[in-house]
Amino acid sequence: MFYLAIGHACFDFTPAGYQVGGTVSYALAAAAALGWSTGVITSVGPSFPLAETFPHSHIYNRPAPVTTSFTNQQTERGRHQILHHRAHLLEPDDLPPDWPPPTVVHLAPIAAEVNPAMVPRFTGPQRPFIGLTPQGWMRSWDETGQVRATAWDAAATVLPLADAVVVSQEDWPDEAAFALFRRQARLLVVTAGAQGCYLYQGEAQWHVPVAPVAEVDSTGAGDLFAAAFFIHLKQTNDPAAAAQFANQVAAQSVTQSHLTGKIEVIRHHLQTNTAL
């Protein structure tokens, strides 16, 4: 079972300094905690701790002079982001030919860095499960780095190729984008923080709630949710069960700060709590 994630690892600047971030960082940590072998295709600068972030993983890095870096600020109107740096774009030719065939491929852009042409490379008779967290394709930024939600031009082409798409309700630019995703995606999951998540499949839609927890830090919860959801859905072919499982993984993660603490509490509950 090989979980391949494609996208930029990054640095997130906080009042206490920088911390490692990026969907691929959280998703692969979750996959490893669930017992999967992992691989990452990314682009980071020389100061990024690749080996520490992705221990025991296959790693392909397109070396860049800088690592993608954000400042994230929570405001009354939701999350406000500033993009300071962006590493190199990731192209279909960056797929290593000698890696194990992936069981799950997770396309995980955070700053429009993944060429959507990568997605068709994984289609075909022996295709893996394809999961998308397309938030990075739904962002643009101005000359000062101020990030805003925007329409994703390739959505209608790429969405039907995925087995499941996970998006935060914070990332919708408008109702038209939601309607397009609802129409084109085979299975759309909208995460809603403490409210759990909403699933849309064809004409069906349903809400999967989550039990309340004492939140300390919600960073990366959506990324951990996505990895847990994709893995459980691949294993069970049951969207509702996968959503319940992923909700609990994400809920446990927000009770801790920093990636290491989040993964430790997830591992603990996987070992001791039958609800997970």
Percent helix, strand, coil in the chain, to 5, is 35, 30, 35
Q: How far apart are CA 200 and CA 72, in angstroms?
A: 29
Asked whether the CA dihedral 237, 239, 245, 251 is positive or negative, the reply is positive
CA angle 127, 266, 235 (to 5 degrees): 25
Range of lowest pLDDT (37-51, 73-87, 99-113, 181-195): 73-87
Would you state the pLDDT for residue 86?
A: 97
Residue 149 has pLDDT above 60, yes or no: yes
Q: Please tell me the pTM assigned to this model.
A: 0.94
| The residue count for the chain | 276
Q: From 193, 119, 198, 200, select the one nearest 152 (Cα to Cα).
A: 119
The residue type at 180: L
Residue 255 has pLDDT above 80, yes or no: yes
**Percent of the chain predicted with pLDDT > 70:** 96
Would you state the pLDDT for residue 57?
A: 96
Q: How far apart are CA 258 and CA 246, in angstroms?
A: 19
Residue 67 has pLDDT above 70, yes or no: yes
Tokens of 53: 């972030």
Is residue 94 left, alpha or beta, with left meaning phi > 0 and alpha meaning psi from -120 to 50? alpha
Q: How far apart are CA 193 and CA 203, in angstroms?
A: 24
Would you state the pLDDT for residue 18?
A: 85
Would you state the pLDDT for residue 27?
A: 96
Helix H or strand E segment including 61? strand 58-61
Give me the chain's average pLDDT, please: 92
Q: How far apart are CA 273 and CA 168, in angstroms?
A: 27
Residue of 73 and 150 predicted with greater confidence: 150
Would you state the pLDDT for residue 75?
A: 63
Q: Best-predicted range by mean pLDDT among 79-83, 123-127, 132-136? A: 132-136
Coil, helix or strand for 50? helix
**205 has which bridge partners?**
200
Candidate CATH numbers 3.40.1190.20, 3.40.1280.10, 3.40.50.620, 3.40.50.920; the one for domain 2-272: 3.40.1190.20
- Would you tell me how many other CB atoms lie within 10 Å of the CB of residue 198? 16
pLDDT category at 68 given cuts 50, 70, 90 is very high
Q: Average pLDDT of 176-186?
A: 93
Q: Average pLDDT of 48-70?
A: 96
Would you state the pLDDT for residue 103?
A: 97
Q: pLDDT tens-digit profile of 10-55?
A: 999 877 778 899 999 999 999 999 999 999 999 999 999 999 999 9
Q: How far apart are CA 221 and CA 26, in angstroms?
A: 8
Residue of 259 and 81 predicted with greater confidence: 81
What is the domain partition of the chain in residue ranges?
Answer: 2-272
DSSP state of 115: -
Q: Average pLDDT of 103-118?
A: 97
pLDDT category at 216 given cuts 50, 70, 90 is confident
pLDDT category at 104 given cuts 50, 70, 90 is very high
Is residue 15 left, alpha or beta, with left meaning phi > 0 and alpha meaning psi from -120 to 50? alpha
Would you state the pLDDT for residue 213?
A: 86
Would you state the pLDDT for residue 208?
A: 96
